[in-house]
């Protein structure tokens, strides 16, 4: 074990998995698959961030079924072919000393969109098929009105989440994250903006949380006990009548009872018209609330760009894990620069193949 002076470069153990540092790559959709299959792009894209030194590498939002994709380029885990395509990705990440993770999801009423750099318009129902949601409410004007799922269909969706988690472990992933944020299906059930049901899956917060909780319990039961389960949770909807931070903390406390190990704190995207108060590290305050109110480990994402900022969040006790998104797209080797900024000489984020680029006999130079 290294003699680290920073929290950012200290190990984090969760169940049977130890992260070498507290830097995680956020799951970010690449829209670069065909039929949900990983490609060489994913090896290079995810592998370069592992070479860059991030302790946890989270693969993008991955669909549990073909109709659960955000769009046609999404990664999938609904067949054994997807497992085989992902094995080289996880093997390479692991070889670099990072921990491979994956986020599983169903897009619900936000499914069927074209690849963003081509178009953001929804794909017509005739081409994509009918969308599902807790209630028959379109995401926004001009989008397909989804069909409200039946309780029998909910039971089948729970099984699909569990099967995807099993395949994730078979593919070599050592952390499974369930996506219950950003306006996708599980978030749609949690939010009173999108969930108008009058059965046992709608109404009170506890009823709206029932489906996500059933998913968590099924996933937890389907994978080895040493594999951590994360949940990405929207901490607020930024709209009147939506989820409040207090609601999110109560939901996190319920999920803790079901076997969740860490809440990945994010927010927003349930519907158009949000007024988000953006500022550097703006989810850290919500992460702190979850740590205190739900007695859970947390990760925080959102406009975290500097090493000192990340270290301060950890030192303040606001989070256990720093999750970096766009900054890692711009700078795959950001963890190394962060180690330099924190004067962390034992960070172990430089592979042996690159060591001669940063040191000469008797002298250590910055990356």
d(CA 299, CA 297): 7
Catalytic residue list contains 184: yes
Answer yes or no: are the C-beta atoms of 212 and 161 closer than 8 Å: no
d(CA 277, CA 340): 31
Catalytic residue from among 31, 114, 184, 286: 184
d(CA 148, CA 155): 14
Provide the token pair at 29: 């959709």
d(CA 270, CA 173): 28
- Count Cβ atoms within 10 A of the Cβ of residue 340 and give its class: 0-12 exposed, 13-18 middle, 19 or more buried: middle
**Rg of the Cα trace of the chain?**
20
> Among 204, 206, 207, 208, which Cα is nearest to 189's?
208
268: left (phi over 0), alpha (psi -120 to 50) or beta: left
CA 176, chain centre distance (Å): 9
At residue 239, φ and ψ (nearest 5 deg) are -140, 145
d(CA 247, CA 215): 19
Q: Which residues are catalytically annotated?
A: 184
């Amino acid at each position: 074990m290294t003699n680290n002076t920073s929290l950012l470069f200290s190990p984090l153990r969760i169940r049977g998995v130890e992260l070498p540092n507290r830097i995680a790559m956020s799951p970010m959709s690449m829209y670069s698959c065909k039929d949900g299959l990983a490609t060489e792009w994913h090896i290079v894209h995810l592998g370069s961030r592992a070479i860059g030194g991030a302790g946890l590498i989270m693969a993008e939002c991955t669909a549990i079924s073909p109709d659960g994709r955000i769009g046609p380029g999404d990664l999938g885990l609904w067949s054994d072919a997807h497992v085989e395509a992902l094995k080289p990705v996880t093997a390479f990440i692991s070889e670099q000393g990072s921990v491979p993770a994956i986020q599983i999801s169903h897009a619900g009423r936000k499914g069927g969109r074209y690849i963003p750099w081509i178009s953001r318009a929804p794909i017509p129902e005739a081409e994509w098929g009918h969308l599902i949601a807790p209630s028959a409410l379109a995401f926004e004007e001009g989008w397909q009105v989804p069909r409200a799922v039946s309780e029998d269909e909910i039971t089948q969706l729970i099984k699909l989440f569990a099967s995807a988690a099993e395949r994730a472990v078979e593919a070599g992933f050592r952390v499974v994250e369930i996506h219950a944020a950003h306006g996708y299906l599980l978030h749609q059930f949690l939010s009173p903006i999108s969930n108008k049901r009058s059965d046992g899956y709608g109404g009170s917060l506890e009823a709206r949380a029932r489906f996500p909780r059933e998913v968590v319990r099924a996933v937890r039961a389907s994978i080895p006990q040493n594999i951590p389960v994360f949940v990405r949770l929207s901490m607020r909807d930024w709209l009147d009548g939506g989820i409040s931070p207090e609601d999110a903390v109560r939901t996190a406390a319920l999920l803790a009872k079901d076997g969740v190990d860490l809440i990945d704190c994010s927010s927003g995207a349930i519907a158009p018209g949000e007024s988000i108060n953006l500022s550097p590290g703006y989810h850290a305050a919500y992460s702190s609330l979850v740590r205190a109110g739900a007695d859970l480990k947390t990760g925080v994402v959102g406009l975290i760009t500097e090493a000192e900022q990340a270290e301060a969040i950890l030192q303040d006790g606001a989070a256990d894990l720093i999750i970096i998104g766009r900054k890692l797209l711009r700078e795959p080797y950001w963890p190394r620069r962060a180690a330099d900024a924190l004067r962390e000489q034992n960070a172990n984020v430089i592979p042996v193949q690159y060591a001669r680029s940063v040191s000469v006999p008797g002298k250590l130079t910055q990356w």
